[in-house]
């Protein structure tokens, strides 16, 4: 396959290849949209938004996720049609590997697709398939035919909105499509407080609000839907499992599988814990880690100049953004990963001695 990479230094949606992609989608017999393992609001929001765009074009489309996502995202229009690899691995893999046009949203390497990785690689190797990556993470692998990558953008939903504009489909922007885009926009920009927010982010929000979508309801469904056990888990994590290293301006929270089971933790219950650690006065780097199906999953956050993306890539098999990243350590114990983190923290201390 001929590889084409469009750099974030230019308008990635201005090229002829993007216009040709619309024609290709219109004529395709099978179009499939995928996203990364443990889908978040931006992953599922961008995927369902793209599905709504294709529906407006009269193009059937399957959305296939590696695994389930948090219940607080189930309100999104189109959720009931999503297929999951962990629930039907053979059928899901067949859809992805045989797609005439395969979209890979919010991830920049096949390894991020979890159980769908092999199927994505098969599609990449299939001369009859066209693979399109749309993503905002740094340092993408060169795996797709069309790579629409812009790491300066705060969310993949913003890139889908730019695709809608490039395809001159503003007329398709109804409240359902807008609701999906708004979900990814607010979750990946921290409700517009992260440094990745640009004037165009607010311009997009204005256009979405003009459709009549209920932004207040969406925010409530995402951020005000805590179960009692989730609140109790948060209280336990902050009161019993939070380690603060004020001399190094770091904080770490860790939760074992037994602790998660004790509070009947569900997908999404620990989201935001790392941000609570970062919100402590004087803290510039925060980490949250938990045991998760034979691996230790890690979320990293920072404020200012310290790059958690570099930390994730160098030490925890991960990646992401400058101030928000993650990783996973397969086959390691929580104790081992936590000890490694604590041992590394003093080596970063000099780089963390600053005020915003």
Query: Hey, what's the torsion of the CAs at 192, 193, 198, 204, to 10 degrees?
Result: 0
How far apart, in Å, are the Cα atoms of 137 and each of 51, 77, 310? 22, 26, 13
Strand partners, 130: 101
Residues 307, 260, 188, 39, CA torsion sign? positive
Domains belonging to the chain, first-starting first, are 4-222 (3.90.1640.10), 228-352 (3.10.310.30)
Which letter does DSSP use for residue 126 in this model? -
Mean pLDDT of 188-201: 93
In this prediction, residue 2 carries a pLDDT of 35
Query: For the segment 113-166, what is each residue's pLDDT rounded down to a tens digit?
Result: 999 999 999 999 999 999 999 999 988 999 999 999 999 999 999 999 999 999
Query: For the segment 255-282, what is each residue's pLDDT rounded down to a tens digit?
Result: 999 999 999 999 999 999 999 999 999 9
Query: For the segment 52-85, what is each residue's pLDDT rounded down to a tens digit?
Result: 999 999 999 999 999 999 999 999 999 999 999 9
In this prediction, residue 11 carries a pLDDT of 85
Mean pLDDT of 23-47: 97
Higher pLDDT, residue 10 or 290: 290
Which residue stretches of the chain are H helix?
16-27, 41-56, 89-97, 117-125, 156-166, 175-188, 199-209, 215-223, 228-240, 257-262, 273-278, 308-315, 334-348
Instruction: Identify whether the C-beta of residue 182 lies closer than 8 Å to the C-beta of residue 215.
Output: yes
Instruction: Identify whether the C-beta of residue 210 lies closer than 8 Å to the C-beta of residue 182.
Output: no
Q: Examine the pLDDT at 245 and tell me if it is beyond 70.
A: yes
Please state, for a pLDDT cut of 70, what percent of the chain lies above it: 97
Token pair, residue 45, equals: 């929001």
Instruction: Identify whether the C-beta of residue 222 lies closer than 8 Å to the C-beta of residue 183.
Output: yes
Instruction: Identify whether the C-beta of residue 36 lies closer than 8 Å to the C-beta of residue 113.
Output: yes
């Amino acid at each position: 396959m001929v590889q084409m990479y469009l750099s974030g230094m230019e308008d990635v949606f201005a090229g002829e290849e993007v216009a040709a992609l619309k024609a290709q989608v219109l004529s395709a017999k099978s179009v499939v949209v995928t996203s990364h393992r443990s889908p978040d609001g931006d992953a599922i929001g961008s995927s369902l938004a793209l599905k709504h765009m294709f529906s407006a074009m009269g193009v059937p489309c399957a959305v296939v996720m590696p695994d389930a996502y948090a219940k607080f995202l189930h309100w999104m229009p189109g959720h009931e049609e999503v297929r999951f690899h962990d629930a039907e691995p053979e059928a899901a893999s067949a859809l992805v590997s045989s797609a005439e046009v395969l979209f890979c949203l919010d991830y920049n390497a096949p390894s991020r697709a979890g159980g769908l990785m092999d199927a994505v690689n098969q599609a990449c190797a299939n001369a009859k398939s066209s693979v399109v990556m749309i993503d905002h993470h740094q340092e993408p692998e060169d795996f797709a035919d069309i790579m629409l990558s812009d790491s300066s953008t705060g969310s993949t939903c913003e890139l889908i909105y730019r695709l809608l504009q490039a395809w001159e489909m503003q007329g398709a922007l109804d409240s359902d499509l807008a609701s999906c885009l708004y979900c990814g926009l607010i979750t990946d920009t921290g409700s517009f407080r992260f440094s990745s927010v640009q004037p165009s982010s607010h311009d997009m929000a204005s256009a979405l609000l003009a459709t009549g979508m209920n932004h207040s309801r969406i925010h409530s469904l995402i951020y005000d839907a805590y179960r009692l056990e989730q609140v109790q888990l948060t209280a336990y994590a902050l009161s019993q499992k939070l380690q603060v290293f004020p001399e190094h301006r770091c904080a770490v929270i860790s939760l074992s599988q037994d602790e998660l089971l004790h509070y009947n933790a569900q997908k999404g219950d620990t989201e935001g814990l790392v941000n609570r650690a970062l919100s402590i006065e004087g803290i510039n780097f925060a980490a949250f880690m938990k045991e998760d199906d034979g691996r230790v999953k890690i979320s990293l956050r920072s404020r200012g100049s310290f790059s958690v993306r570099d930390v994730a890539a160098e030490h925890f098999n991960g990646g992401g953004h400058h101030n928000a990243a993650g990783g996973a350590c397969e086959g390691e114990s929580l104790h081992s990963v936590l000890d490694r983190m604590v041992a590394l923290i003093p080596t970063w201390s000099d780089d963390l001695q600053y005020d915003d």
